[in-house]
Amino acid sequence: MEDGSEKGFAALVERWREPIQRLCARMVGDWHVGEDLAQDVFTQLYLSRSTFRGESSLSTFVWRIAVNRCRNELRRASRSVVELPGDEAIEEPASASAAPDMAVVGAERQQIVRDALQRLPEHLRVVVVLRHYEDLKCREVAEVLDIPEGTVKSRMAEALTRLARMLPDPAEPPSRGERQSEGR
């Protein structure tokens, strides 16, 4: 892409199409809207290819444009995220107890995860999507979002804690003896 050639841009699209579509889809909660957003991202990438100076890595540049496009879309669509209440009023998680059929249980759990992710505030969701689903290191997430690495980690901790409240109750935790063996 640096040389602005169509061949290079085509290679970039081929390399980044699926990750960007995944990111956009998870950010807005709709796979088809995610595809449309990804096309916008590549259009914007093509138009702004001359502004890429190599000060950051190409991947950071691409992720950043995609994240900004998703933010604009969320703002435009006024998709207000339902904030979790405080610790004193934790919302009841969806029950996973009444689904004996494993396939149904799997689909339900998948839907529960997607719903929970959409209920996170945008600034927490983007950290989860980049770190967990796109497997960026916290340092790389920090570069994409242009925030300190410590902030990325604290947001990730907050996001995981909120998700833990939203998701169904876990099985009984292991005993101290099991933990001791795990610790060793």
Partner 1 sequence: MEHPARETLVSYLYDELDGSASEDVRHHIAECDACHAEIEGWRRVVEFLGEDQAPSMRSRPAVGLWRAAQIAAAALIVFATGLVIGWSSRHDAQALNQAVAGLREELGSSVRNSVIRSLEPELARRIDARVAERVPEVVSAQLEGTLPGAVDAQVQQARSEVEGILRDGYARDVRRLANYTIHAADQRTNASLVAFAEAFNASRLEDRQALIDWLRRAEQDRADELQIVRQDMTALAALTGDELTRTRQQIARLIAYAAPSEGAGEPSYRSHDAQKGQ
Number of H helices, E strands in the chain: 8, 0
Residue (72 or 181) nearer to partner 1, CB: 181
> In whole angstroms, how close is the CB of 148 to partner 1 at the nearest point?
10
Interior angle at CA 54, CA 53 and CA 57, nearest 5: 140
Residue (55 or 87) nearer to partner 1, CB: 87
Residue (59 or 93) nearer to partner 1, CB: 93
> In whole angstroms, how close is the CB of 83 to partner 1 at the nearest point?
18
> In whole angstroms, how close is the CB of 6 to partner 1 at the nearest point?
5
Q: If you write DSSP's letter for every residue of 15-73 in order, what string do you get?
A: HHHHHHHHHHHHHHT-HHHHHHHHHHHHHHHHHTGGG--SSS-HHHHHHHHHHHHHHHH
Helix 58-77 and helix 138-145, axial crossing angle in degrees, nearest 10? 60
Q: Interface with partner 1 by CB under 8 A: which residues?
A: 6, 10, 13, 17-18, 21-22, 25-26, 31-32, 35, 39, 43, 46, 106, 109-110, 112-114, 116-117, 128, 131-133, 137-138, 150, 153-154, 156-157, 160-161, 163-164, 167, 170, 173, 179-180, 182-184
> In whole angstroms, how close is the CB of 170 to partner 1 at the nearest point?
5
Residue (54 or 183) nearer to partner 1, CB: 183
> In whole angstroms, how close is the CB of 113 to partner 1 at the nearest point?
4
Q: Is 124 exposed, middle or buried (0-12, 13-18, 19+ CB in 10 A)?
A: buried
